[in-house]
Amino acid sequence: MSIKTQNISFAYHKKAILKEISFALQPGTLGVIMGPNGSGKSTLLKIINRLIEPQSGTIFIAGNDYRKITRRELARHCGYMPQKSAAVHCTVFEAVLLGHQALNPERCEAEKGLQQVDKILKLIHLNHLSDRFTNTLSGGELQRVVIARALVREPKILLLDEPTNHLDLINQLEVMSLLKEITHKLNLTTLVVTHDLNSALRFADSFILLKDGTLHAAGPKNIITSECIEEVFNLKSVIAEIAGFPVVVPIQQD
């Protein structure tokens, strides 16, 4: 399902946080939202997931104005992972099953739920950890459980707020690689907030750059230039190609 935001503006207590944000993302695309702390990334993701309402502008989901879609229906289409999610103490299987039941507990068909959890655990390469307690997992494994939870209701849109935060280098790469794989395999429209420019350059199809609540630029990889990085992050850098991948190398500032 495509996402198209049209002139989204949002304010907390009259303080403008997002100003006239417009961009579009197609199915089968991994998009990243990037920008300095406080630039409005999490707010934008919450608006798309309809946790908060913009003061003006709207969003089209698969071409339909999202205000005409019921919240329940939107929740069925969108898998959302907030920046801070509470840990649950249970097995991996139970944690993912909870994600399935959260939406529609009274009508949940038990057998279907169990099958669905099995399917997703295999897809995310977590089936071997199915009976492990979540508090015994590594950061990277736990993050994959959280992604599995967001995926278990078969959403068409995936919204993830800093899924690679606090992960070591190898797990950052694995999570981004997994997100690219499932986005393409399931034809999802995936939007990820991340600070990791190099993983984004390696795996993402589309970039949305925010600065002080405004959209600085949106588009494919080639919008990421050293000028653009300096304007958005106030950081001098060069972009070099290493082992076939573009890599951002910050330059020491005196």
Residue numbers at the binding site for ligand ADP (CB under 6 A): 12, 17, 35, 37-43
* Nearest residue to Mg ion, scored by beta-carbon proximity: 42
- Residue 86 or 243 having the CB closest to ligand ADP: 86
Phi-psi region of 105 (alpha: psi -120 to 50; beta: other; left: phi over 0): alpha
**HEC states along 199-247?**
HHHHHCCEEEEEECCEEEEEECHHHCCHHHHHHHHCCCEEEEEECCEEE
**Phi and psi at residue 178, in whole multiples of 5°?**
-65, -40
Burial class (CB in 10 A: 0-12, 13-18, 19+), 80: buried
Q: Minimum distance from CB of 13 to ligand ADP (Å)?
A: 6
> Which among ligand ADP, Mg ion, none contacts residue 190 (Cβ within 5 to 8 A by kind)?
none
Q: Mask of contacts with Mg ion, 56-95, x by CB under 5 A? A: ---------------------------x------------
Is residue 26 close enough to count as binding Mg ion by CB under 5 A? no
Q: How far is CA 114 from CA 76, 111, 120, 129, 130, in A?
A: 18, 5, 10, 15, 12
- Residue 15 or 89 having the CB closest to ligand ADP: 15
- Residue 56 or 177 having the CB closest to ligand ADP: 56
Tally the residues of the chain. 254
Is residue 2 close enough to count as binding Mg ion by CB under 5 A? no
Is residue 165 close enough to count as binding Mg ion by CB under 5 A? no
- Residue 17 or 142 having the CB closest to ligand ADP: 17
Separation between Cα atoms, residue 14 and residue 4, nearest integer Å: 25
- Residue 12 or 241 having the CB closest to ligand ADP: 12
Separation between Cα atoms, residue 52 and residue 73, nearest integer Å: 16
Q: Minimum distance from CB of 106 to ligand ADP (Å)?
A: 31
Among 2, 6, 26, 42, binds Mg ion (CB under 5 A): 42
**Footprint of Mg ion (CB under 5 A):** 41-42, 83
